[in-house]
Amino acid sequence: MKHRHFKLFKPYGYLSQFQTNARHEINKRFLGELFDFPEHIMAIGRLDKDSEGLLLLTTDGKVSYDITSAKTDKEYYVQVDGVITEEAISQLEQGVQIRHKNETYLTKPCQVFKLDVTPCFPERAKKIRDERHGLTSWISITINEGKFRQVRKMTAQVGFPTLRLVRIRVGTITLEGLQMGGVQELNDLY
């Protein structure tokens, strides 16, 4: 069987999984609504329901394992509440204490910088508060680990809660060429 690989611009509000018959998931949105994916497709890693951006999918479990276990870089553009300070950026870069599975965890050092220009993403389905509620800023964070809601926990820990989170890159694969909800088939994921 020839395996297939895709990249997807996951919209806000979708779960990073495919339809199940569970009763508690009746009103939820799933990736299968966006494209006619082949059987046995799986997301490589996850983006939570409130996050947007690049999601890789494959029918090859070995490729999925290789990418998630290789500590591949993942870059996020993050809109935070307030005008982020150099001190907060430095703390993020060095690693911060977050809660993970009821334990304290020190995040690994990562790359962080403030974006001088607001990224041009489509408006989100659920509106983010507007400027009358205070200033916001955008940063880029590149990590190579992925604890549950890690980036959100990191920015909150330094006093700048995340308002919008968009993954723009996994390894060398980017969102380039995709519209919100768009899917593109790839020859490979390396």
In whole angstroms, what is the distance from residue 46 CA to residue 49 CA?
A: 9
Q: Are 130 and 14 in contact (CB under 8 A)?
A: no
Which amino acid belongs to residue 119?
Answer: P
Predicted TM-score of the model (pTM): 0.93
Is residue 99 predicted with pLDDT exceeding 60?
A: yes
At 127-180, the pLDDT tens digits run 776 666 789 999 999 999 888 899 999 999 999 999 999 999 999 999 999 999
Cβ contacts of 67 within 8 Å, gap of 6 or more:
44, 45, 56, 170, 171, 189
> How do the domains of the chain map onto residue ranges?
5-70+172-186, 74-170
Active site residue 60: no
Single out the residue of 48, 77, 75 nearest to residue 166, CA to CA: 77
CATH, domain range 5-70+172-186: 3.30.70.580
In whole angstroms, what is the distance from residue 164 CA to residue 77 CA?
A: 8
Of 36, 48, 60, 73, which one is the catalytic site residue?
A: 48
In CATH terms, the fold of domain 74-170 is Alpha-Beta Plaits (3.30.70)
